[in-house]
Amino acid sequence: MPVANFEQYCTMLDRAKKGGFAYPAINVTSTSTANAALQAFANMKSDGIIQVSSGGGQFASGQNVKDMALGAISLAQHVHLMAEKYNVLIALHTDHCHPDKVESFMIPLIEETEKRREMGLPNLFNSHMFDGSELPLEENIKISKELLIRCAKSDIILEIETGVVGGEEDGVNNENTPADKLYTTKEEMVQIAKELRPLGKFMYAATFGNVHGVYKPGNVKLRPEILKNGQDAVEKELGNEATHWLVFHGGSGSELSEIHETLGYGVIKMNIDTDTQYAYTRAIVDHMFKNYDAMLKIEGEVGNKKFYDPRAWMKAGENQMCDRISKACTDLRSEGKSVFHS
C-alpha cells in the first residue's frame, strides 16, 4: 500500500487508542534498516510508523554531505517506493527535533511537503516531532502552536513533548536531569489540550520517568499513573474527546506489564531505537566472529567473498532487526490489527 494519507493516519491512531494497542515507531538510518521495519510490519500484519531523527538523516546523507534534511528526504522517498509492495499501512515521522534544529531540519521537510502538495503529490512525512522540553513551558507551547498551525495547513500531525526523557539518545544527553523534570504534570496535560487542540491534530509525549538508552528490565522506574491522572484531568475539564494521543519514549528496560498499563491510558505510539540498533549489530558481530578467517585476507589468503560481501552481513542484521520489531508488535498488541487484516 502507499504510505498512509492524513485520514488513514488519523484512523490508525484513533483505532489504537480505542483498541488499547500502540504502534512501534522504528528509527531508521539506512535503506537496510527501513526494509527491516517494512518486512516486520508486513509479517505481523501490523500497520506501523517509520521515523528518522536529525542524526539519522545526517548519517543517511553521507559523511561528506552531512545534510540532515536531505538524508531524511532520501529515506522517506525510499519508504514511499517500497511501501507500495507491502499490504500494511506505514506512516512516516521525524523524531526529536530540538529547538536549535527546527530551521535546519523540520522546516525544510515541511517545505518539501508543501512543494509536493502544490504538484498534487502526497505528503513526504505524515508527522514531525518538535521536542521543546528543554524550554520553559510557555515558550515550548508558543513554538509548538506556531508549528502546529503550519503543519495543519498541510495535513501534517505534530508531536510535542513536555517534561524530559532522561538518558542519552542521538547525541542529546539528559542523564543529569533533575528528577522532577522527568514527570509531566496533569496541569500541563490540561494546558496542552486547551491550547493546541483547537489548532490541529497532534500527538503528545508526556513523560512519566522514561529514560533513553540501555537498561536491564526493572532498572527504569516508570510511573504510568502520571498518564492516567493527566488524561482523567483532561476528560474532567474538556471531555473524553479531548484526551491525548500519547507517545511512549525511552521504553528500553521497561517491564512489559508497565508498557501494557500505558496502553490503557492512551499511548498509541512507542518509539523503538536502542533495541533495534542492538539487534542489527548483534547479528553482524555474530557473522564476523563465526566467519573470521573468511572475512579477512590473512597471511596471503584472499578470504571468501561470500562472507565479506557487505550484503551477506547486512542481511543478517536486517533479519534480526526484523525479528526484534516483530516482537515489539506482539508486545504492543498491534499484531494482526492492520486496517487491511482486521
Q: Is 249 annotated as a binding residue?
A: yes
Measured between alpha carbons, how far is residue 138 from residues 133, 188, 203, 210, 336 in Å? Answer: 11, 10, 18, 22, 41
Q: Provide the pLDDT for residue 168.
A: 47
In a domain, 321, yes or no: no
pLDDT in the model for residue 165: 56
Residue 99 domain flag: yes
Please give the distance of CA 340 from its chain centroid, rounded to a whole number.
22
287 is in an annotated binding site: no
Residue carrying the nine cell digits 489504537: 16
Give the structural domain span for 28: 6-276
177 is in an annotated binding site: no
**pTM, two decimal places:** 0.92
Q: pLDDT tens string for the chain (342 positions)?
A: 899 999 999 999 999 999 999 999 999 999 999 999 999 999 999 999 999 999 999 999 999 999 999 999 999 999 999 999 999 999 999 999 999 999 999 999 999 999 999 999 999 999 999 999 989 999 999 999 999 999 999 999 999 999 765 444 444 444 444 455 678 999 999 999 999 999 999 999 998 887 655 444 444 578 899 999 999 999 999 999 999 999 998 776 678 999 999 999 999 999 999 999 999 999 999 999 999 889 887 666 778 999 999 999 999 999 999 999 999 999 999 999 998 776
Q: What is the pLDDT of residue 211?
A: 67
Residue at 98 is within a domain = yes
User: Is there a binding annotation on residue 252?
Assistant: yes
| 240-243 LR contacts (CB < 8 Å, sep 24+) | 242/193, 242/197, 243/193
Residue 170 forms part of a structural domain? yes
Annotated catalytic, 95?
yes
What is the pLDDT, as a whole number, of residue 296? 84
In this structure, what CATH number is given to the domain that contains residue 224? Answer: 3.20.20.70
Nearest Cα neighbor of 339 from 4, 59, 98, 112 is 4
With respect to residue 251, please indicate whether it lies within any of the assigned structural domains.
yes
Query: What is the tally of structural domains in the chain?
Result: 1
Nearest to 26 by CA among 316, 274, 284, 314: 274
Selecting among 47, 95, 155, 331, the annotated active-site residue is 95
222 inside domain: yes
How far is the C-alpha of 26 from the C-alpha of 13, rounded, in Å?
Answer: 16
250 belongs to an annotated ligand binding site: yes
14 is in an annotated binding site: no
129: in domain: yes
Q: In this predicted structure, what is the pLDDT of residue 299?
A: 66
Q: What is the pLDDT of residue 251?
A: 72
User: Within a domain: residue 136?
Assistant: yes
Determine the pLDDT at residue 15: 97
